[in-house]
Structure 1
Amino acid sequence: MRANLLSRLFLAWANLCLRGNELNRRVEEQAAEICKLKAQLQQEIAKCQQAEAALAQVQDKLEIDVTKVRLREQLKAVFDEALDAILIADEEGTYVEANPAACELCGLPHSELLGKRITDFMVPGFDFALAWGNFLEVGQATGELSLLRPDGTVREVEYAAKANFIPEQNLSILRDITKRKQAERALTQERNFVSAILDTATVLIVVLDTQGKIIRFNRACEEMTGYSFEEVRGKYLWDLFLIPEEIESVKAVLQELQTSSSYNEHENYWVAQDGSRRLIRWSNKILQDIDKKVIADSQNSDLSSGDPNKSNHLEASGTCKYIIGCGIDISDRQQAEEARQALAKEQELNQLRTNFFTMASHELRTPLSVVLLTVQSVEAFYDQWSEEKKLKKLGQIEEAAQRMKHLIDNILTFHRRDES
């Protein structure tokens, strides 16, 4: 029985070993399968990562392409809508592209402009070969030139050009400055016209800045003072021409112009280079900053009153830039006025003298008549009159003589005063 038990135990152990081996074999097979599946999974993950990277590259490329398209559209819009003319020429100077502004500037439609050469728009005498060679050598150019259109009209343009901005193509940008040039020429003509007026005017014209420094000085001023404009330019007015006692009053006049009035008048002396003095009557006007605006005074009564001080005023933001003074030399006029006054005074004195001598002759005639009549009476009635009456008549003669003496003394005194 014991042997039977051992046999059964042995069989059970052997069976258990067989089952353990089978289980180990199955575990190993499952582990191998798991490793195989893991390897396959890693391969799939790698493929997914590669696909994801490829997708990212495609997306980046699409974004770049979209950006390029947008940029191309923007550049095309800038090219087409630019107000300045944009032209592209090849190495021979033949236009291969142009924007609408260039077509308008050149006076040709797009289809006709392409294929034209730069020389087709140059005025006679322009050395294109030299200019084009220098441009290609330097690589860029800027400046101004005259552009001859097919209809014969000429446009003044300023240009900026870049050689080979892309291989074998040259970019140029042109801006029509014809109106600006016309305005500049008109301004130059007007400036020359004003200068001619200033130099030919017989009145004194001086332009000062707000500090009282001389900015302009016409020929009449040069002739009167003996100074040239170059000698007085930038110097203070009072350092050259004013007498000391009038400096402060002239400064006050200039200050009044800048603070409370746009126009005033005054008189003062100018001292010439040789030391002579001339009396000048000035009419002064301020010239405000050209960027500021002069507005009419709101009071209609001021406009109709004719008062230059009230005809216009500066806005609160306006500033005085220059002071213009127009002067008339009234020295000769003053001398003539003084001579006229002296003549009038002399005539008045002559009239007084005439009146005095008329009165004096009348006053002398009266006592002289008394003397003559009394003497005649004494001669006629000397023997008939008493001594008392004779003495009385002699007293009358003496009284008349004293009166004549007094009148003669007055005449002599008047004569001495008249001579002095």
Structure 2
Amino acid sequence: MYSAVVTILAHATLALASYGLASALAARVARKHASRVRTAARLRTLRRAGSLVGGSGAVVVSELSGVTPFVAGTLPAGIAGTAYGAVLVACVVFLGPVLLVVVAVDLAVHPYRREVRPVEATRSDVVRWFLARVPAMPLAVGVAAVVVWVAPAGWGRVVAALAVAVAGAAGMPVLLSYVLRARPPTPGECASLVDLPDDVRVRVVPDATRVGVAFAAGVAPGARYVFLAESLFDVLGPAERRAVLAHELAHHRRGHVALRVALPMCLLVPLVAAVEFHVDGAFAAVLVLSLPATVALFWVVRWTEYDADRWAADRAGAGALAGALSELADRKLVLAGPGRHLGAFASHPSIERRVARLGREPPGRRPGPR
């Protein structure tokens, strides 16, 4: 029988244990490595690994303590027991037990991150950011599951899943603008960027909420965005800022953003079709293929970074882009490398490799058709 008291105690114990273990490991990392760059990389790996392991533990505890069966039992009869119901249950578990552990791990590592990187946010800022912004994504996933479920069974739901995925990709910049508290650039910031494109919108992200110094998002015409951190305007010169902007524009011009969106869809649509048409072994196949598919996706993402570097170097200068990357790494605004623990799961190549490739690019080389 489900007991709220047992559930609260179990998840509170797990969160406290995750906090204590992550804090102890972070302290050990900080003592062991004299290099700030290596320490920052190890702390990032620790945060990700701690969130993954702790979150997985929260899922197990949710099942054992009765949270998952209890939530599943509250769903309407039509959706309960279906794959879409399972998605809703997963969203609820993430918004509660999993998020609690992830916040605990982040709070444990946060003081040590502030010592090696320019992270201005306080612990209260971290909690507010998680509670106010992180739930937006699982809520969107839950709404998507309901929309697909209410569509006609069979091909109707397959088409609905594809439509929801496309709509989500198109609307992602709006969600990111909200989550990251992004704003339009000021007249002074616009003037410092030079040659702002007419078909791509630029948004500036406060350093307290940024998840990177620059990235591109959006696939719909008129809704393509480039997000830039406020710190870029403080630490980079005009030529370097233009090179960073050109790199992000390359992700749009070269179709990288669309490619990064399309690849996960290649798994999503067959999965929905397999569920709808009751293909035996569909979920087992997804589990088997998920790891190699993830490795392949990260490889493609790393390739797009090199390709965007070539495109930007051809238009803004290889020296300016290499200088921007080196300056951002020196100031710890980006990590110089993904860390050897990430390996095939690194989403970006190391700064050293990117700078080295820029130095080898022959002048005037074109990266191919636009």
TM-score by length of 1: 0.19
Higher helix fraction (1 or 2): 2
Task: Report 1 or 2 for greater relative contact order, CA contacts < 8 Å, sequence distance ≥ 6.
Answer: 2
Q: What TM-score do you get using the length of structure 2 for normalisation? A: 0.21
More strand by share: 1
